[in-house]
Amino acid sequence: MSDEITEYNPDQVMQNVRDKIKATFADLIPDEHWNKLIENEINVFIKSSEDRYGNKAHSELRILVHEEARAFCKEKIKEILKEDERFQGYYDKDGNYKSVSEALEKILVKRAPEIFFDIISGAVGEIISNMSNRF
């Protein structure tokens, strides 16, 4: 026993108790059963599953990978849009601010009919369908 006085730390005591129980508990489980428990947990993490209704659930690993990939891609897209001059506004020779770059403007003008059609076709189709149902 030490003569040194230390401050009582309940968190450290709890951690010591946890560690002791964990060590004792792990020793009580036979190796083959312990290995099976670990294998099951790894499979749950890696493999997709299905509930009793047949609904598929993605594995924890797949969810984690998709979250990380999504965050990475969002950051890369932000960088590209911020740094690439093709996506930046500019001031023309008269000092007027143009929110769309010249390169992007050329693409939009060239594809305007297609873009307009994609935007309005659904709405027009819905209006015509509603009108035909009323008569």
Residues in the chain: 135
Burial track 90-112 (b if 16+ CB lie within 10 A, e otherwise): eeeeeeeeeeebeeeeeeeeeee
Question: What does the pLDDT average to over 80-106?
Answer: 86
Q: Decide: 115 and 126 in contact? Cβ < 8 Å.
A: no
Statement: residue 77 has pLDDT above 80 = yes
Q: Can you give the pLDDT at residue 3? A: 65
Statement: residue 1 has pLDDT above 70 = no
Q: Can you give the pLDDT at residue 92? A: 86
Statement: residue 127 has pLDDT above 70 = yes
